[in-house]
Amino acid sequence: MYNSGQMQLSSMSYLNNNASDRPSFQAIIPRTFSSPRYQVFSMPQGLLFLERRDKAGSGGEPNNNAIVVGAVLGGMMGACIAHAITSNSAPAEAETGLETLREEELFELARTRKKSFVSKIDEIISISIDAPGTWGRMFNDSSLAGWVTVRDRALGKVKMEIRDQASMSVVVDCLPRRFGDRVFVNVDFDRGRTLFVPRSK
């Protein structure tokens, strides 16, 4: 029987597979002074990184220092309590409707957003999909679901953070189909916890 987390992942995968031949997922590319958010479209031409225009919420990111202190003082229970206290913030207002745009509309929109870019299919050397382990989840933002690392001949290394399990589900499903043996899937889905974990060796 599916639980709610599994149903969300399954629904997201179904919608992306049936809406068009360009499934997409949300990602953040962390940089020194900013961390732009993208809607990443998997297209026959490659990957389109469309800069998102989400509106900021009233709160901020969880205070990771408080979570670590909580873990030291009270183990995992202390970390959970600290996270609950520090992550009580209003969510951002997300930009919607990007998936419904036609291909030419997406490229036209990308041209108007200066942080948007394309990783061309012939330039992509490899793509690695990874998930944080137990320690990684403790010392990273709790919303981190995994990483996607694209190695591109023209762009170099592009490392993305994936912040929700539904987007990870799309990543794991669509990228191997599009890019074949250039994709290295280093994750498994833990049905009990409804999240992606590092693949057992």
pLDDT tens track for 9-59: 444 444 444 345 789 999 999 987 788 999 999 999 999 999 999 887 644
Long-range CB contacts (within 8 A, 24+) of 4-9: 5/165, 5/194, 5/195, 6/191, 6/194, 8/165, 8/166, 9/165, 9/166, 9/169, 9/189, 9/194
Cα(201)–Cα(191) distance, rounded to whole angstroms? 18
pLDDT of residue 152: 98
Q: What is the pLDDT of residues 137-162, one digit of tens each?
A: 666 667 899 999 999 999 999 999 99
Reply yes or no on whether the pLDDT at 172 is more than 90. yes
Confidence of residue 94 (pLDDT cuts 50, 70, 90): confident
Handedness of CA 5, 7, 9, 11 (dihedral sign): negative
pLDDT of residue 35: 87
pLDDT of residue 139: 64
Cα(160)–Cα(47) distance, rounded to whole angstroms? 12
Strands 46-51 and 124-130: unpaired
3-state secondary structure of 183: strand
Strands 124-130 and 183-185: parallel
Reply yes or no on whether the pLDDT at 102 is more than 70. yes
Confidence of residue 76 (pLDDT cuts 50, 70, 90): low
Cα(61)–Cα(57) distance, rounded to whole angstroms? 10
Q: What is the helix (H) or strand (E) element at residue 83, kind and residue range?
A: helix 64-86
Reply yes or no on whether the pLDDT at 3 is more than 60. no
Query: If 0-12 CB within 10 Å is exposed, 13-18 middle and 19+ buried, where does residue 94 land?
Result: middle
pLDDT of residue 89: 41
Domains of the chain in sequence order: 4-54+95-198 (2.30.29.30), 56-93 (no CATH)
pLDDT of residue 125: 98
pLDDT of residue 33: 77
Q: What is the pLDDT of residues 173-183, one digit of tens each?
A: 999 999 999 99
Query: DSSP characters for 11-78?
Result: HHHHHHHHH-S--EEEEE---SS---EEEEEEETTEEEEEEP-PBP-SS----HHHHHHHHHHHHHHH
Average pLDDT taken over every residue of the chain: 80
Question: Are 131 and 146 contacting, i.e. CB atoms less than 8 angstroms apart?
Answer: yes
Length of the chain counted residue by residue: 201
Is the pTM for the entire model greater than 0.75? no
CA dihedral 134, 146, 159, 199 (to 10 degrees): 70
